[in-house]
């Protein structure tokens, strides 16, 4: 039926209730029966400028492209207009956007970068296609219904070894096939990891991004870097194959960014630790099987891996983002764990916690910046298509000034992030802990602050649509509501800025004078 050809004159004859056709981008839709079900009402479809007319302009100023791709609406198409071809085509899964600044410059035609090579390009293409085909439908569903990531998606992620790659380069990748073999294990570096984080967080579903096993990205490295070989052999393979879930349990109602204020204790009893206390804001905690727990032990701190048991209970915390993230309040009530589950040296847990923070903060910078870039793309598209006061929004200088700031923020953040990622590629884990804690803290402060400025600007540009969870501005609404998460999780913005400056002061040469 979609192949039937009509003229605009044919369509014009169907312009009344019960016999109503419209044209959108060369396609003819019979909306006679649908009109009464139309979410925007029947009246708008019967307007003289719409009924039996080419309604392309009106349609795209009120609906996202994806509306016409939904099967229930796609089947309203009865043919096409003779001599016309479709102009507004959705991108195929995996395609790059050609909207300026929608992609980082290394993915923009004609631009160059010192950091990325063919391996990164092949990897980026494979990941984008996988994310759009496999992850996106689950993300949209779970963001809405609040349920945890579907197990079949977890299994597909594990088949591609995505959870393993999100831990960065290292021994845990040995013998694994990455993205179906598109790159070799030994090629994998922090830029591949950056790409993975970027691609996963372009979906506009912030709660789901954390639900997408963020707990593992921050909870498993202490096991990998500080756990005994026996513990690693069991836990790492269970988690990276998607059979078990893990989370990081550090923050408490008593201690957020001020980690040293924590009150959870681990007391030695023979060959066991006995753990008591509570943890708050624990991402993926509602469905985790393992908890990487920071405890007070005497005068110091010790990190212990605690499996779920009757002595461990988790309760969902209601937050501003979707409960698909599995944010939990966790209680340990005399939880007994073998001392073999100690991660690192007893009493030296603060080193484990602090060195782990660098990678967590860098990961948040990647995901936050990618989401910020998506908002720039959405805004550029909107100002181009939205007609207000008789002109496209882009013709207003005040709107262009907002966009100038939005573009400058995302581009400066990207360049700083790539420079730091290059350092990570060339430094050992210990060198990174020593040299990059300050710069990563400052970078995270910058990205999350600029992210919230961009959220604010985009909301003004989208107006009422920017505060509505469905329709044209749905990504803006999600980002505006959830961008404060990036500014808090992994260390609050002000604390991280301060950390960066304190690290700089500590490294001042003794002879430095004006
Ligand atoms: C095949 C044709 C059409 C389909 C399948 C369709 C479908 C929809 C859907 C699903 C919505 C809910 C919002 C969303 O998901 O974006 C909506 C809202 C709306 N539609 Fe349509 N529509 C069609 C044509 C039109 C046309 C030609 C107009 C022209 C005036 C129109 C005016 C509206 C309005 C005013 C809203 C409410 C928008 C809002 O709340 O911001 N629709 N339509």
Distance 16 CA to ligand 1 centre (A): 18
Beta pairing class for 328-338 and 272-282? antiparallel
What the chain holds in terms of domains, given with CATH numbers, is: 5-81 (3.10.120.10), 105-212 (1.10.540), 241-347 (2.40.110.10), 355-506 (1.20.140.10)
Of ligand 1's listed atoms, the one at least distance from the Cα of 44 is 30
Residue with the smallest CA separation from ligand 1 atom 6 is 38
Of ligand 1's listed atoms, the one at least distance from the Cα of 464 is 41
For ligand 1, pick from 11, 49, 63 the residue to mutate: most ligand atoms within 8 Å of CB. Answer: 63
Residue with the smallest CA separation from ligand 1 atom 9 is 39
Distance 30 CA to ligand 1 centre (A): 14
Q: What gap in Å lies between CA 125 and CA 176, rounded to an integer? A: 19
Of ligand 1's listed atoms, the one at least distance from the Cα of 465 is 41
Name which of 105, 167, 172, 166 is nearest 131 in CA terms.
166
ipTM for the predicted complex: 0.96
For ligand 1, pick from 2, 32, 39, 470 the residue to mutate: most ligand atoms within 8 Å of CB. Answer: 39
Q: What gap in Å lies between CA 15 and CA 335, rounded to an integer? A: 71
Distance 85 CA to ligand 1 centre (A): 22
Kindly state the tokens that stand for 282. 């624990």
Residue 136, class by beta-carbon neighbours within 10 Å (0-12 exposed, 13-18 middle, 19+ buried)? middle
Q: What gap in Å lies between CA 158 and CA 476, rounded to an integer? A: 31
What was the pLDDT predicted at 2? 54
Distance 392 CA to ligand 1 centre (A): 20
Q: What gap in Å lies between CA 493 and CA 197, rounded to an integer? A: 20
Q: What gap in Å lies between CA 356 and CA 219, rounded to an integer? A: 9
Q: What gap in Å lies between CA 146 and CA 327, rounded to an integer? A: 11
Residue with the smallest CA separation from ligand 1 atom 25 is 59
Of ligand 1's listed atoms, the one at least distance from the Cα of 472 is 16
Residue with the smallest CA separation from ligand 1 atom 37 is 40
Distance 434 CA to ligand 1 centre (A): 55
What was the pLDDT predicted at 257? 72
Q: What gap in Å lies between CA 93 and CA 77, rounded to an integer? A: 23
List of residues 6+ apart from 137 with CB closer than 8 A: none
Of ligand 1's listed atoms, the one at least distance from the Cα of 50 is 27
Q: Is 447 helix (H, G, I), strand (E, B) or coil?
A: helix
Per-residue pLDDT of the chain (514 residues; tens, 9 = 90+): 457 999 999 999 999 999 999 999 999 999 999 999 999 999 999 999 999 999 999 999 899 999 999 999 999 999 999 999 999 988 999 999 999 999 999 999 999 999 999 999 999 999 999 999 999 999 999 999 999 999 999 999 999 999 999 999 999 999 999 999 999 999 999 999 999 999 999 999 999 999 999 999 999 999 999 999 999 999 999 999 999 999 999 999 988 777 888 999 999 999 999 999 999 999 999 999 999 999 999 989 999 999 999 999 999 999 999 999 999 999 999 999 999 999 999 999 998 998 888 999 999 999 999 999 999 999 999 999 998 888 999 999 999 999 999 999 999 999 999 999 999 999 998 899 889 999 999 999 999 999 999 999 999 999 999 999 999 999 999 999 999 999 999 999 999 999 999 999 999 999 999 9
Task: List residues bridging with 244 in a β-sheet.
Answer: none
What was the pLDDT predicted at 284? 98
What is the gyration radius of the CA atoms in the chain, in angstroms? 26
List of residues 6+ apart from 313 with CB closer than 8 A: 330, 331, 333
Q: What gap in Å lies between CA 293 and CA 302, rounded to an integer? A: 8
- Alpha carbons within 13 angstroms on the beta-carbon side of residue 321 total 28
Name which of 39, 45, 40 is nearest 21 in CA terms.
45
DSSP class per residue in 335-404: EEEEGGGEESSTTBHHHHHHHHHHHHHHHHHHHHHHHHHHHHHHHHHHHHH-EETTEEGGG-HHHHHHHH
DSSP class per residue in 202-270: -SS-HHHHHHTTHHHHHHSHHHHHHS-HHHHHHHHHHHHTTSS-EEEE---SS-SS-GGG---EEEEET
């Amino acid at each position: 039926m979609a192949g039937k050809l009509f003229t605009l004159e044919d369509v014009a004859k169907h312009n009344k209730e019960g016999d109503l056709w419209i044209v959108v981008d060369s396609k003819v839709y019979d909306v006679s029966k649908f009109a009464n079900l139309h979410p925007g009402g029947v009246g708008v479809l019967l307007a003289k400028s719409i009924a039996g007319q080419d309604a392309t302009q009106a349609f795209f100023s009120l609906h996202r492209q994806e509306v016409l791709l939904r099967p229930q609406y796609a089947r309203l198409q009865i043919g096409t207009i003779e001599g016309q071809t479709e102009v507004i085509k959705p991108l195929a899964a995996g395609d790059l956007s050609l909207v300026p600044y929608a992609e980082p410059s290394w993915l923009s035609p004609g631009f160059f970068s010192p950091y990325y090579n063919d391996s990164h390009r092949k990897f980026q293409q494979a990941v984008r296609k996988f994310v759009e085909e496999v992850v996106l439908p689950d993300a949209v569903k779970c963001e809405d219904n609040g349920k945890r990531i579907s197990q079949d998606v977890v299994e597909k992620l594990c088949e591609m070894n995505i959870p393993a790659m999100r831990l960065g380069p290292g021994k845990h990748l040995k013998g694994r096939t990455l993205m179906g073999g598109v790159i070799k294990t030994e090629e994998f570096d922090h830029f591949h990891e950056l790409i993975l984080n970027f691609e996963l967080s372009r979906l506009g579903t912030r709660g789901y991004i954390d639900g997408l096993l963020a707990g593992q990205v921050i909870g498993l490295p202490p096991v990998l870097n500080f756990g005994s070989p026996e513990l690693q052999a069991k836990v790492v393979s269970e988690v990276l194959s998607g059979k078990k879930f893990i989370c990081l349990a550090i923050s408490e109602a008593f201690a957020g960014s001020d980690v040293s204020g924590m009150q959870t204790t681990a007391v030695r009893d023979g060959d066991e630790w006995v753990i008591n206390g509570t943890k708050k804001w624990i991402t993926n905690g509602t469905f985790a099987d393992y908890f990487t727990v920071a405890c007070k032990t005497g005068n110091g701190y010790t990190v212990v891996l605690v499996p779920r048991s009757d002595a461990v209970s988790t309760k969902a915390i209601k937050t501003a983002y979707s409960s698909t993230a599995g944010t939990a309040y966790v209680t340990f009530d005399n939880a007994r764990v073998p001392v073999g589950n100690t991660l690192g040296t007893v009493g030296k847990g603060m080193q484990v916690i602090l060195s782990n923070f660098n990678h967590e903060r860098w990961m948040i910078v990647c995901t936050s910046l990618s989401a910020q870039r998506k908002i720039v793309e959405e805004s550029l598209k909107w100002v181009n298509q939205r007609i207000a006061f008789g002109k496209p929004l882009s013709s207003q200088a005040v709107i262009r000034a907002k966009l100038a700031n939005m573009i400058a923020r995302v581009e400066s953040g990207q360049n700083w992030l790539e420079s730091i990622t290059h350092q990570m590629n060339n430094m050992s884990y210990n060198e990174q802990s020593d040299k990059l804690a300050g710069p990563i803290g400052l970078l995270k402060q910058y990205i999350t602050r600029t992210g919230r400025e961009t959220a604010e600007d985009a909301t003004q540009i989208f107006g009422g649509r920017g505060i509505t969870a469905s329709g044209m501005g749905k990504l803006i609404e999600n980002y505006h509501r959830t961008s404060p998460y990036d500014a808090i999780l992994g260390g609050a913005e002000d604390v991280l800025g301060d950390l960066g400056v304190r690290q700089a002061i500590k490294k001042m040469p003794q002879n430095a004078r004006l």
